[in-house]
Amino acid sequence: MRVGIAEIDGQHRRLLELGKELAEAKAAGKSPDELNRLRGGLVDQTLLHFATEEKLFAEYGYPEAAAHAAEHKRIALQLRQIHARMVGGADVPDEEVMKFQQEWVRDHIQGFDKKFGQWAVAHGLR
């Protein structure tokens, strides 16, 4: 899971923790308000995380910044849509949320973020 840049790895860990907290809160039967508060936090932290990566792309002149940022935009839109449905009281199927999480974690971090990490480490960023 590590991409090799301390700030990014720390944020990824935090996002995974928040996801776990949310799953646990749901399993423990927490109130919809509490679940929505956790979901809101996860959305905010994800957007903040994307902004952090994009700031690093700009700072270091990452040549694949545009494609990576476009992928963030696509994920953020999907995330906002799922969140809005949940806050609106819709019952979003767990499989849909899990599929999204898997896609975001497995495909994005293992693909786009790792690629940036390798490039950045080779260019002196830690």
Contacts with Fe ion by CB under 5 A lie at 53, 112-113
Q: How far is the CB of 119 from Fe ion (least distance, A)?
A: 12
Cα gap 68→71, rounded to integer Å: 5
Closer residue to Fe ion, CB minimum distance, 80 or 85:
80
CB of residue 112 vs Fe ion: minimum separation in angstroms? Answer: 5
Q: How many angstroms separate the CA atoms of 103 and 118, rounded? A: 21
Query: Which amino acid belongs to residue 40?
Result: G
Whose Cβ is closer to Fe ion: residue 11's or residue 83's? 11
To Fe ion, the closest distance from the beta carbon of 13 in angstroms equals 11
Indicate if the alpha-carbon torsion angle 47, 51, 53, 54 is positive or negative: positive
Token duo for residue 98: 């899990």
Q: Which is nearer to Fe ion, 76 or 87 (CB)?
A: 76
Nearest residue (beta carbon) to Fe ion: 113
CB atoms under 10 Å from CB of 49, counted, come to: 19
| Identity at 97, one-letter amino acid code | V
Instruction: Return the number of the residue (12 or 39) whose C-beta is nearest Fe ion.
Output: 12
Min CB(71)–Fe ion separation in Å: 7
